[in-house]
Amino acid sequence: MQSEEQPKSRGRSALRELVETILFTLLIYFLVRFFLFENYKVVGNSMAPTLENGQFLVVNKLGYRLGEPQRGDIVVFEDPRDPERKLIKRVIGLPGEVVEIKQGGVYINDQKLNEPYTNGPGRYSVPATPIPAGQYYVLGDNRSNSSDSHSWGTLSGESIVGKAWLSYWPPHLWGIVPHEVYASIP
């Protein structure tokens, strides 16, 4: 009798371990997917030349729970005009600053911003715009082909999903997403 029950017991034990492993794997997946990281596909050319249409990225969602976005960060956020849609742009202006665009040149608190990552200045001007607390000014790197803060205003920090972190497709673009680092502007 003992020899017949041991195989049944081992079979149940193995099945239980398999179910527990699957449940634990799913739990980790959902924790990572919904709280730490998210994948994002670049749609359009508004971030060219930095990012390409069709490029796939991993977005770090945890970073801004621990700190604030910085100038030069490339962020994914909910479109202020359609929260179901997500966009990707570069943070240019921070809360408390004044952004002005003169013939495509970006000025923060009356100081011209050096922007080596763009494909050239935009073909527009924007009057001095104070950025309220909790808001950010974001622009696409392809200035003349981007719907961004120059057309719809500042972005609420609460709409920011996370910071673009890693490119994983196509293979020739594998690597860390390049973010510009700026010294503080008075």
User: What does the pLDDT look like over 136-150, one tens digit per residue?
Assistant: 999 999 999 999 999
Q: Annotated catalytic sites, by residue?
A: 46, 89
User: What does the pLDDT look like over 119-138, one tens digit per residue?
Assistant: 889 999 999 999 999 999 99
- What percentage of the chain reaches a pLDDT higher than 90? 68
For all residues of the chain together, what is the average pLDDT? 88
User: What does the pLDDT look like over 30-72, one tens digit per residue?
Assistant: 665 666 778 899 999 999 999 999 999 999 998 888 899 999 9
Give the per-residue pLDDT at 1: 47
- Cβ 60 vs Cβ 165: under 8 Å: yes
33's tokens? 């997917």
Q: Which residues are registered as beta bridge partners of 60?
A: 37, 163
Statement: residue 2 has pLDDT above 60: no
User: What CA–CA distance (Å, rounded) separates 144 from 151?
Assistant: 11
User: What CA–CA distance (Å, rounded) separates 17 from 170?
Assistant: 37
What value does the mean pLDDT take over residues 5-12?
62
87's tokens? 């966009």
- Cβ 138 vs Cβ 92: under 8 Å: yes
Give the per-residue pLDDT at 98: 98
Give the per-residue pLDDT at 107: 97
Q: What residues contact 73, with CB distance under 8 A and at least 6 apart? A: 90, 91, 163, 179
Give the per-residue pLDDT at 66: 85
Q: Calculate Rg over the CA atoms of the chain.
A: 23
Q: What are phi and psi of 104, to 5 degrees?
A: 90, -20
Task: Please report how many Cα atoms fall inside a 13 Å half-sphere around the Cα of residue 152, on the Cβ side.
Answer: 12
Is the bond leading into 170 cis (omega within 30 degrees of zero)? yes
